[in-house]
A and B are shown apart, each in its own frame.
Chain A
Amino acid sequence: MDLGYVSIQLFNGLVNGAFYALLSLGLAIIFGVLRVVNFAHGAVYMLGAFAAYLLLQQFDIGFWPALVLAPIGVALLGVVVERLLLRRLYGLDPLYNFLLTFGLALFLQDAMRLRFGIQGQPYPTPDELSASVSLGPVSYPVYRLFVIAFSLLICVATWYLIERTRLGMVVRAATERAELTRALGIDVDRWVTAVFAIGIGLAALAGVLAAPMRNVAPLMGSELIILTFAVVVIGGLGSIVGAVTAGFLIGVLASLGAVFNPAFENVIVFALMAVVLLVRPAGLFSSREAA
């Protein structure tokens, strides 16, 4: 076993984990506040990547502005969806929102397929990050290191926002006792929309980060989202720390598994999910017991 190879795989794992973390974080906060499992999350990730591509293609707006503009644009779309569609189903069986978001995912994917075809569009690595640095025996792309650092930063910021700020306090109060919070004169509905927008924005952000290193294609999200749901199950639905930790953990474990055999990469995730479901059905980091 080559130690250099293993340590590099650690970094690759963190990069994959960064995507899982950003995506499952968005899923977790949306579920925490809205009690909606957003099945359109993979499609939103794809929209983020396409938004970056379109900004570059149509308006010559590069990676850095896109990192801000694309998530905001997609999040605004999320606001519209929440106001017009999701909102009407809160009182009903969760199954209805499941169907709605699942349908939305199919709709978005096919809409993009009609416009751009199935195969994908090019997106370059930003010049500032296109170099590589020496990590022991191999040189490693700076862009990948940036993905790790940047997504960690975003995860910490989101955690801070939810756990340590007044906005976060309102959000958490609204989650626990919506009626009581309303009685205190707080407009819960407004915050619900904001939280949904943040969750959507995180997925779109992951999409922008993915554009330089993944095929920007309509189905890019539908493939990744399956793994992300496994991560969410392992971390515990609605647990912010759980989502992020499980995201990075699984990225690393899967990549280390690939050292032994490339096929292990996918197997490990689902094996771990099965074990967690058996031993701690509510998820590794959930404080609640499974009903």
Chain B
Amino acid sequence: MKRVLALAMIAAVVTAACGAAAPTGGASASPAQVTLNDGKLVIGVINDQSLVYADLSGKNAVEAVKMAVEDFKAKYGENALGGPIEVITADHQNKPDLASSKAQEFYERNNADIILDVPTSSAALAIAKVANDEKKLYINITAATTDLTGVSCNKYTFHYAYDTYMLAAGTGKWVTENLGKQWYIIYPNYAFGQDMEKSFRGAVTKFGGTVVQSDGSPFPNTSGDFSNLLVKAGQLKPQILGVMQAGGDLVNVVKQYNQFKLGDQGIKLAIGLLFDTDITAIGQDQMAGVVYTTPWVWSMDDQSKAFADKFLKRTGIRPTFAHAGNYSAAWQYMEAIRRAGTDDADAVVKQLEGYKFNDFFIRNGNIRAEDHWVMHDALLAQVKPASEAKEKFDYSKVLGTIPAETASRPLADAGCKK
């Protein structure tokens, strides 16, 4: 009863704060003069709306961007950017060729000023190339490959929420220092998995661990079976099984890891990339205790919770970090247009480069001008048992913060030549 009351109190305070903030913000905002190139702003969201990443970003990421636009208008007035703001969207089905042609269509035919989201590393790399050719903006949120700010970096591409370096710098370090030094890494054999393997190998070695062996699994894995790698793990007897698979593959690996009882044999699990939606599929108690790195957890503080509450009301689910990242990126992009006074891509890039900011999603943000990596704090989180959950989607608690400097790949290693 006490808890319910406390929650009600928090909810009341948060809604009051939000309700109060919006009108005053709107009143005090200076009427910035913005001229839009073709009379309107078009934000394109390209992501997976039917396959494996549809839940963790997908249609609800589009909703998040729409929420950002609505909130932006609520704060700065209906005519905040001097014209209508449109959100358009397409399903790329995780195919690089489809992603590339959709992006071209958006930029050329729909006059899109920016493309957001784009899970699947190979598709993201394809769109980055189109953005550069078209000289229009692309802010990646859900793809993880460090190549976007490395060998494939360009003037118009930004990398926002997380990358494989961040995941490895958090999880790779913590696990090596706290759970065990000998790693056996398994990864899905395509752009994302190979990049994850490289980043984790680097982090593990850096913090005094060794990678005994690493094996790629076929991608896509049509049989859904990972027993050969798990049996191999049972034989190698490493202290840590580093699992770099994502989405449905990750669920299969963890289910089968539990069945083979590798945990009982002293082989601990380290997971490279974990979304709330994966925890739903595996079961919270099956995942309890797992430590992972994430840019954001919806329950981490009051402003995040306030966003999560609004999001829940609109979509029926709690936001993943990809959803929150899309909202935040769309918001910061519109802010940059206000500062620039135009939606001209080159002018907006100039406003974004070197910009330091904080919002509910990004802490200690700094958009690195040299490679366009958005530096910010990451979180070390742990899945808690269902008995500690306050509600259905309350999966994780935050163990600590990984400072932006540590979570970002050093510039010297990026190899970005814009």
Query: A137, A215, A262, A265: which has the most chain B beta carbons within 10 Å?
Result: A215
B152: interface (CB < 8 Å)? no
Q: Within the complex, which residue of A9, A119, A226, A262 is in contact with B247, where a contact is CB–CB below 8 Å?
A: A119
B255: interface (CB < 8 Å)? yes
Residues of A within 8 A of B70 (CB): none
| Residues of A within 8 A of B (CB-CB), count | 47
A249: interface (CB < 8 Å)? no
Q: Which residue of B lies closest to A117 (CB)?
A: B55
Residues of B within 8 A of A138 (CB): 231, 234-235
Q: Are B223 and A217 in contact (CB under 8 A)?
A: no
Question: Chain B nearest CB: distance from A269 CB in Å?
Answer: 9
Q: Which residue of A lies closest to B53 (CB)?
A: A118
Q: Are A118 and B54 in contact (CB under 8 A)?
A: yes
B15: interface (CB < 8 Å)? no
Q: Are B228 and A259 in contact (CB under 8 A)?
A: yes
Residues of B within 8 A of A266 (CB): 218, 221-223
B280: interface (CB < 8 Å)? yes
Q: Which residue of A lies closest to B228 (CB)?
A: A258
Q: Within the complex, which residue of B216, B223, B234 is in contact with A139, where a contact is CB–CB below 8 Å?
A: B234
A223: interface (CB < 8 Å)? yes
A4 to B237 CA separation, bound complex (whole angstroms): 14
A224 to B224 CA separation, bound complex (whole angstroms): 8
B132: interface (CB < 8 Å)? no
Within 8 A of B (CB), among A222-262: 223-224, 226-227, 254-255, 258-259, 262
B265: interface (CB < 8 Å)? yes
Q: Within the complex, which residue of B220, B235, B283 is in contact with A124, where a contact is CB–CB below 8 Å?
A: B283
A39 to B410 CA separation, bound complex (whole angstroms): 51
The proximity string for A residues 114-140 relative to B, scoring 1 for CB distances below 8 Å and 0 otherwise, is 000111111011000010100001111
B260: interface (CB < 8 Å)? yes
| Residues of B within 8 A of A (CB-CB), count | 43
- What number of residue pairs across chains A and B have CB atoms under 8 A from each other? 128
Q: Which residue of B lies closest to A140 (CB)?
A: B260
Q: Are A223 and B220 in contact (CB under 8 A)?
A: yes
A140 to B227 CA separation, bound complex (whole angstroms): 10
B261: interface (CB < 8 Å)? yes
A220 to B221 CA separation, bound complex (whole angstroms): 11
Q: Are B228 and A118 in contact (CB under 8 A)?
A: no
B351: interface (CB < 8 Å)? no
Q: A120-B251, A139-B265, A223-B220 are in contact. Are A2 and B235 (CB under 8 A)?
A: yes
Within 8 A of A (CB), among B276-324: 277-278, 280-283, 286
Q: Are B218 and A122 in contact (CB under 8 A)?
A: no
Residues of B within 8 A of A124 (CB): 283, 286
Residues of A within 8 A of B189 (CB): 262-263
B217: interface (CB < 8 Å)? yes
A212: interface (CB < 8 Å)? yes
Q: Are B235 and A215 in contact (CB under 8 A)?
A: no
B405: interface (CB < 8 Å)? no
A144: interface (CB < 8 Å)? yes
Q: A227-B223, A262-B218 are in contact. Are A141 and B260 (CB under 8 A)?
A: yes
A121 to B279 CA separation, bound complex (whole angstroms): 9
A4 to B256 CA separation, bound complex (whole angstroms): 19
Residues of B within 8 A of A8 (CB): 231
Q: Are A125 and B247 in contact (CB under 8 A)?
A: no
Q: Are A220 and B224 in contact (CB under 8 A)?
A: yes
A124 to B282 CA separation, bound complex (whole angstroms): 9
A210 to B58 CA separation, bound complex (whole angstroms): 27
Q: Are B281 and A121 in contact (CB under 8 A)?
A: yes
Q: Are B248 and A125 in contact (CB under 8 A)?
A: no
Q: Are B50 and A118 in contact (CB under 8 A)?
A: yes
Q: Are B248 and A119 in contact (CB under 8 A)?
A: yes
Q: A119-B278, A141-B260, A266-B222 are in contact. Are A212 and B51 (CB under 8 A)?
A: no
A90: interface (CB < 8 Å)? no
Residues of B within 8 A of A125 (CB): 258-259
A63: interface (CB < 8 Å)? no
Within 8 A of B (CB), among A1-50: 2, 4-5, 8-9, 12, 15-16
Within 8 A of A (CB), among B222-254: 222-225, 227-229, 231-232, 234-235, 247-248, 251-252
A219: interface (CB < 8 Å)? yes
Question: Chain A nearest CB: distance from B232 CB in Å?
Answer: 7
A180: interface (CB < 8 Å)? no
Q: Are B228 and A9 in contact (CB under 8 A)?
A: yes
A164: interface (CB < 8 Å)? no
A214: interface (CB < 8 Å)? yes
13 further A-B contacts with Cβ under 8 Å, apart from A118-B55, A120-B281, are: A117-B277, A119-B56, A122-B281, A124-B283, A132-B260, A141-B261, A215-B255, A220-B224, A220-B248, A223-B220, A223-B224, A255-B228, A262-B215
Q: List 9 A-B contacts (CB under 8 A).
A: A2-B235, A5-B235, A113-B50, A113-B54, A117-B54, A139-B265, A215-B255, A217-B251, A262-B228
Ranked 5 nearest A-B pairs via Cβ: A122-B283, A120-B281, A215-B251, A12-B227, A258-B228
